Amino acid sequence: MTAEDLKALIRTVPDFPEPGIQFRDITTLIGHGAGLAATVDHLATRAERAGAQAIAGMEARGFIFGAAVAIRLGIGFVPVRKPGKLPAETIGVDYALEYGSDRLEIDPAAIRSGQSVVIVDDLIATGGTAMAAAQLLRLAGGTVENALFVIDLPDLGGAARLRAAGLTVQSLMQFEGG
């Protein structure tokens, strides 16, 4: 399936979670077996070309695509979690949200020093979570140069923000507007 075929599987929900937002719902894509498989294939090809030795995905939807890509490539998956979810000692970073802040954590033993880690997530909007994940993975000793997304919302500037920070960013599709 082409990226355009996959884009047609994304449902747009107007005015969710608030008026004026066009929510891009991936549940229709992940519920379509051939579409999900093709999405994972596209991401895995890009991750392999980027020299991925591990895949990192952010909670929660990044787990869906990131773990599938890691399985497809036969490499490890690093879950980037919300606070208090990992049973081992963790390292974490705080990052700003539009209205407040949040925190991401990982088990630092999940990454080898110098290991090439590719970030995979469902959607890039403002880029705050992906920037925090890259910072955290680097803090753990990983080399993070690439981030892959199913969907880019270019009007929100996240991909440009990641590129300005030195990351190579690729997405399978774009949707204009927020």
**Residues paired with residue 170 on neighbouring β-strands, in sequence order:** 148
Let me know if 11 is a catalytic residue.
Answer: no
Strand bridging mode 91-97 / 76-80:
unpaired
Catalytic, 98? Answer: yes
Candidate list 4, 89, 98, 176, residue with the active-site label: 98
Taking residue 138's Cβ as centre, other Cβ atoms within 10 Å add up to 15
Cα 5 to Cα 43: distance, rounded to the nearest angstrom: 15
Q: Is 68 exposed, middle or buried (CB count within 10 Å of its CB: 0-12, 13-18, 19+)?
A: buried
Of 48, 59, 61, 145, the catalytic one is: 61
- Active-site residues, by number, are 61, 98
